[in-house]
Structure 1
């Protein structure tokens, strides 16, 4: 199997786990404070990753050649999680997911600007189309003639921007550190920062609550492990557009688990975003 194909398979598997993580997180927002949810997500992430690496390799590869970059990457993930979790507490999962899919477009743009990866004019056109879809999914009153949407619907756009930076840092670290080191560091700074506020917000979980909090950490750890593996094998400009497959799973989860069926604006915006993603993802011409 070629590195590019294996990277794509790792990426697609990670996306399924991320939808499972989002579903569990939305369930938890009805019972627990958001800072507590985010802290436990990273706590159980660190525990599961440490156990898995210890069993698989017999050691914990925590020494990094770029500790500052690893810390910044971990903190960007905290910010993305907080923004998206707040959004999930107020808007349907399908709506939040549709807006957050600006992230692959931003990732491709940053791959060109930061990583100096080649991005053709067609891919730039795809990015522009995708952002038009984000605008539709946000339902601005001048476009829909309706009341403004819930203010929290703008938060996934911030998630998209922050997560695009996270993906670029993941790709940069792939050339510096072992993927096991990167996945171990993913939760360290995040866990330490979110632990500070726990004395002020902690709500004792029930047995089911503990199970869901732990499950969120396991889903997140497994998803980010696969994501690190993907970005260590394939370029960011190839992998980022595959994120649009997550639209299908997010829509199904929103409808089947929460009974939130997406409306016409969400579906139209998601379709336009996916169309832009297809333009970005199409392979270039051979010389």
Structure 2
């Protein structure tokens, strides 16, 4: 799974950044469709059972890769971190999937844009990363966007919205652990462990509410699992080809894609406050992503200067603007 067949043909001659953009567009298509599929299937299958099948399909997807590479490729010194990350991922799904049973898909997608905001807060609180005034301001603005969406409504919908916010918090924790794990483990290994462990963790939840799906429901569950898995694979590959700030600028595609598919399949229309709140949240998240990318480039440049002082005269970054330290 290092390279798909069409990467060896159609995409091989394209610049790396263009390939990253195309992968991110595919990921947004998959994730936008995923929210609608969850909402569609949750009308007939218990959400906890959907979580189990979603993860089971991911295990099946990676089975051929394991058969070719052998189980020795799964060796890791961070099994505890894999377990923790997978447990947090299941909790994110436990919050997100039931919420989609009652919440419009576009609104759930809009609220999920808060994940980078919570990831930044978590990095500051638990990883002791230095977050300065500009990024804290972006976080506050993003949370204002959440309040625009979370306006007073029916109690049941309010609880569902809260569950999506809680899901975004869990996803932020998962992202922070993933950032740490990619320094030591191959992304395919991380994905394979995630699928296997989350299948195990979600099985007891599924058995508690088990209703054997019929053939039609089985087709929808298979489509849901494949959509989620392909979206994750495309998302990981996008980050391997392009800068994070450029990739995150495309993340907003999830909203129109999800809204269009929700309208076609479910007849749902996003209201104006969902759109307004989504724009506010996404703008603040994108700002944070771009500031983090700039800081990462400065770190790489500083490391290069330490190794070879001559890059000071030749490197593209010779001066740092004062305001760059206020992020």
Measured against the shorter chain, the TM-score band is 0.7 to 0.9
Match of 1:67 among 59, 79, 96: 79
Match of 2:26 in 1: 13
Match of 1:208 in 2: 216
Please give the secondary structure, in 2, of the residue aligned with 1:249.
helix
Number of residue-to-residue matches in the alignment: 280
Give CA-to-partner distance per residue, 1:4-34, whole Å, 9 cap, x none.
7765654443232122222221111111111
Q: Is the 8 A contact 1:76 1:165 kept in 2?
A: yes
Match of 1:188 among 181, 196, 204: 196
> How far is the alpha carbon of 1:92 from its aligned partner?
0.6
1:60-139 matches, cutoff 5 A: 60=71, 61-111=73-123, 121-139=133-151
Match of 1:157 among 134, 147, 165: 165
**Structure 1 unaligned residues grouped into runs of 5+:** none
1:254 aligns with 2:262: yes
Give CA-to-partner distance per residue, 1:96-134, whole Å, 9 cap, x none.
111121112222343455567675643332222111101
Please tell me whether Structure 1 or Structure 2 has the larger radius of gyration of its CA atoms: 2
Give CA-to-partner distance per residue, 1:130-168, whole Å, 9 cap, x none.
1110111111x3xxxx66554211111001100111111
Q: Is the 8 A contact 2:49 2:207 kept in 1?
A: no
Match of 1:23 in 2: 36
TM-score by length of 2: 0.75
- Structure 2 distance, partners of 1:101, 1:220, is 17
**Change over 3 Å in CA distance of 1:234–1:88 after alignment to 2:** same
**Change over 3 Å in CA distance of 1:111–1:8 after alignment to 2:** farther
**Structure 2 unaligned residues grouped into runs of 5+:** 1-13, 296-316, 321-327
Match of 1:45 in 2: 58
- Structure 2 distance, partners of 1:93, 1:114, is 31
**Change over 3 Å in CA distance of 1:113–1:12 after alignment to 2:** farther
Q: Is the 8 A contact 2:245 2:286 kept in 1?
A: no
Q: Is the 8 A contact 1:171 1:232 kept in 2?
A: no
TM-score by length of 1: 0.84
Give the RMSD, CA atoms, in angstroms: 2.9
